[in-house]
Every structure is written in C-alpha cells, then in structure tokens.
C-alpha cells in the first residue's frame, strides 16, 4: 500500500506570499498525483491532476510539479480565498485504489 505524506501540516502565510506544499509517496507513483483544495463546509475541489496539469478553471497561480515520489504544489501569490486545506491523492493500479495524504492547512498569518 502506498502512503502519501504531506508537509508541513500547517503553513502560516500572508496574502501575496508564495506557498510551497510537499507530498511524498512511499514508492513511485510516476506522475499519477493530484491535488485538491478544501474549504470549511465544502467538498474538495480538484486543482491539479497528473502532477502538473491544472483542472478546468483553476487559476494560473496554482502549479504542480514532481514525479516518482516527490511532488510540490505551489501557489505563487496567495489570494484571500486560497486559505484552505490541501490534499494530495494518488492512484494505484494493483490493487486498484485511491489514497489521500493527510492534508496541509494553509492559514492566514
């Protein structure tokens, strides 16, 4: 079973600052890594799929990178609406399963 470990658990930043979130897989997941944003009381929203592809309508300030076991989500300049919890997710082929990381909370400093 592949385990995803996100760091840091909490990131305290101010609007306009750059946010860098990490997701590490216990074994290679190639590029099959996604990122979601979740705000309180809302369902998760897909931001990035296949490590670096933005989903439809996602602002360009969100970017993803990485392959293998190490991945990064970068928010180039935080907007007030970006303060939320971010989860990474991977898909395994055998057995066919989906796994989420434990989340990183981006909070306002």
Partner 1 sequence: QVQLQESGPGLVKPSETLSLTCTVSGYSISSGYYWGWIRQPPGKGLEWIGGIFHSGSTYYNPSLKSRVTISVDTSKNQFSLKLNSVTAADTAVYYCAREPYDILTGYSSPFDIWGQGTMVTVSS
Provide the mask over 53-92, with x wherever binding to partner 1 is found by CB under 8 A and - wherever it is not: --x-------------------------------x-x-x-
Q: How far apart are CA 87 and CA 102, in angstroms?
A: 7
At closest approach, how far in Å is the CB of 99 from partner 1? 7
* 17-36 positions binding partner 1, by CB under 8 A: 34, 36
Nearest one of 53, 36, 54 to 45, comparing CA atoms: 36
Nearest one of 69, 21, 62, 32 to 45, comparing CA atoms: 62
Q: If binding is defined by CB under 8 A, does position 97 make contact with partner 1?
A: yes
- Site residues for partner 1 per CB under 8 A: 1, 34, 36, 42-46, 49-50, 55, 87, 89, 91, 95-103
């Amino acid at each position: 079973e592949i385990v995803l470990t996100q760091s840091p658990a909490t990131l305290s930043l101010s609007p306009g600052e750059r946010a860098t979130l990490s997701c590490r897989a216990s074994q290679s997941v190639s590029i099959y890594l996604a990122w979601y944003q979740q705000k309180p009381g809302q369902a998760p929203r897909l931001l990035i799929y296949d490590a670096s592809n933005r989903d439809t309508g996602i602002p360009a300030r969100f970017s993803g990178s990485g392959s293998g076991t190490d991945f990064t989500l970068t928010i180039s300049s935080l907007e007030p609406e970006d303060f939320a919890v971010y989860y990474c997710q991977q898909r395994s082929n055998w057995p066919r399963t989906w796994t989420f990381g434990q989340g990183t909370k981006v909070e306002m400093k």
